[in-house]
Homo-oligomer: A and B are copies of this chain.
Amino acid sequence: MTHTSIALAEELAGIVGERFVRTRPTELLTFAADGLPTHRAVPACVVFPGSASEVSAVLARLHARGTPFVARGAGTGLSGGALAEAPAVLVTLTRMGRILAVDAPNRRAVVEPGVVNATLAREAARVGLHYAPDPSSQSACTIGGNVAENAGGPHCLKYGVTTNHILALEVVRADGERVHLGSASGEPWGPDLAGLFVGSEGTFGVATAITVRLVPVPPTVRTILADFTALRAAGEAVSRIIAEGIVPAALEMMDRSAIGIVESSVYAAGYPTDAAAVLLVECDGREGAVAADIARAEAICREAGAGTVRAARTAAERERLWQGRKKAFGAMGRISADLLVQDATVPRSALPDVLERVAEIGRRHALRVTNVFHAGDGNLHPNLSFDAADPDELARVAVASREIMEVCVAAGGTITGEHGVGVDKKKYMDLVFGPDDLALMDAVRGAFDPSGLANPGKVIPDGAARPWGPWSPA
């Protein structure tokens, strides 16, 4: 450590206590990556504030020194948004894990940023309510991280992504000032600053109290799993289900590669390994409606050429149908050294064509591509298996990723559905936005954080806009 960073660590320890500042290189290395395997960065130190006041004091201190910072939840992000390179300090929020209030009559809760998504869902269930956004990482990821990335999940098809569930925020800006965005009653008016903050990927400040919307637990849930001998047929079933006006709670697709990986893992869910694709359709709501919708969805799957259609008759059977989907990323992680979970969206009508193009890109670059994705809202996850220690393979992953993004954008889609831009997707921003558009984003960011100290170097491509803030990596 430099003398400067030793002095800084001591100052921060004066705010949060010595045990909540980490400076040893071996400790710092455990914070050098998040869920994105292609980028690493080591912070100057890691600080764990325990309250909004401590966050405010820490940021004020860093601001006074002109030191940049990166906020981090559980580090499950997939775009490298929580990476901090020294001299930047990592502000980890896992100690702030309290549920401050659950207001059942008005269906809302107030939580600290470090509350784990699944914990909030469990606590809400005690009063018959539910927190709807359910990222695959929900057993680990935090609500603060979900807010930063505007996280999605299988059930966001019906319920909407994180931004639709955030009513109000207490935010500490980069200079330590605390502000309040949105209103607990959730009525949008004037500039929607809470909506603006959700998805700003840590570049606007740190959320220290989050008022979320809760929804009633649906009285009935029904789930079916249909298998198809052609990926295109599964894609067409998706289009027809949506076209008929059915709004499933979830509509998920897995391709042959994904089925094979899951079924040869400890998470085997009984999916038919000879199928080209399986489609998981879940409807929830009141009994009569759900029964009618699921019957029609099943008929549509059969008309589109489904082989067998299995229906879960019990909660345990439903768990089992979901198991393969929920554990797919874990299972994929075991078949290769590294896994890049790609993320893009396309119009639903373009799904069949885009899936064929993606498969062709994989073949051409000799990369295994596995698709596990939110078919109902056109949110693709083509996952690339590789070994980061093989420079040639790493290079092919980079080229294939860009080609996949170009195909999605050309089909009328965009470069991320739910994982954010972070460091990884900055290079694709010019596929979607012109220089004026990027300069405006930069100006809005500058309104929240004139210092440029909050998560610098993320989201907006280097040099695309004005040189970023007073601080820039030398």
Please tell me if A410 contacts chain B, counting CB pairs below 8 Å. Answer: no
A416: nearest chain-B partner, CB-CB: B189
CB-CB under 8 A from A105, the residues of chain B are 347, 349
One digit per residue, 1 when the CB lies within 8 angstroms of any chain B CB and 0 when it does not, for chain A 189-204 equals 1111101101111011
Q: Which of A316-324, A399-407, A438-446 contacts B (4 or more CB under 8 A)?
A: A438-446
CB-CB under 8 A from A200, the residues of chain B are 190-191
A197 to B188, CA, bound (A): 12
CB-CB under 8 A from A164, the residues of chain B are 164
Please tell me if A218 contacts chain B, counting CB pairs below 8 Å. Answer: yes
Task: Tell whether A444 pairs with B190 under 8 Å between CB atoms, given A106-B412, A245-B219.
Answer: no
Q: Which of A2-10, A69-77, A179-187, A361-369 contacts B (4 or more CB under 8 A)?
A: A179-187
A210 to B63, CA, bound (A): 40
Instruction: Tell whether, in the assembled complex, residue B441 and residue A448 are in contact, meaning their CB atoms are under 8 Å apart.
Output: no
A193 to B440, CA, bound (A): 9
A193 to B161, CA, bound (A): 16
Among residues 419 to 448 in chain A, which have CB atoms less than 8 Å away from a CB atom of chain B?
Answer: 420-421, 432-434, 436-437, 440-441, 443-448
Please tell me if A345 contacts chain B, counting CB pairs below 8 Å. Answer: yes
A150 to B444, CA, bound (A): 20
CB-CB under 8 A from A421, the residues of chain B are 189-190
A200 to chain B, nearest CB (A): 5
A378 to B185, CA, bound (A): 9
A220: nearest chain-B partner, CB-CB: B245
Instruction: Tell whether, in the assembled complex, residue A441 and residue B190 are in contact, meaning their CB atoms are under 8 Å apart.
Output: yes
A349: nearest chain-B partner, CB-CB: B105
Please tell me if A391 contacts chain B, counting CB pairs below 8 Å. Answer: no
A189 to chain B, nearest CB (A): 5
A459 to B184, CA, bound (A): 20
Please tell me if A286 contacts chain B, counting CB pairs below 8 Å. Answer: yes
A203 to B190, CA, bound (A): 9
Please tell me if A117 contacts chain B, counting CB pairs below 8 Å. Answer: no
Among residues 282 to 332 in chain A, which have CB atoms less than 8 Å away from a CB atom of chain B?
Answer: 285-289, 291-293, 296
Instruction: Tell whether, in the assembled complex, residue B185 and residue A192 are in contact, meaning their CB atoms are under 8 Å apart.
Output: no
Instruction: Tell whether, in the assembled complex, residue B190 and residue A459 are in contact, meaning their CB atoms are under 8 Å apart.
Output: yes
Residue of B243, B246, B441 near A191 (CB, 8 A) is: B441
A246: nearest chain-B partner, CB-CB: B286
Task: Tell whether A288 pairs with B285 under 8 Å between CB atoms, given A187-B416, A196-B195, A199-B188.
Answer: no
Residue of B183, B203, B417, B420 near A432 (CB, 8 A) is: B183
Instruction: Tell whether, in the assembled complex, residue B437 and residue A448 are in contact, meaning their CB atoms are under 8 Å apart.
Output: no
9 contacts between A and B (CB under 8 A): A106-B347, A185-B378, A187-B345, A187-B413, A189-B417, A191-B204, A191-B444, A286-B292, A440-B447
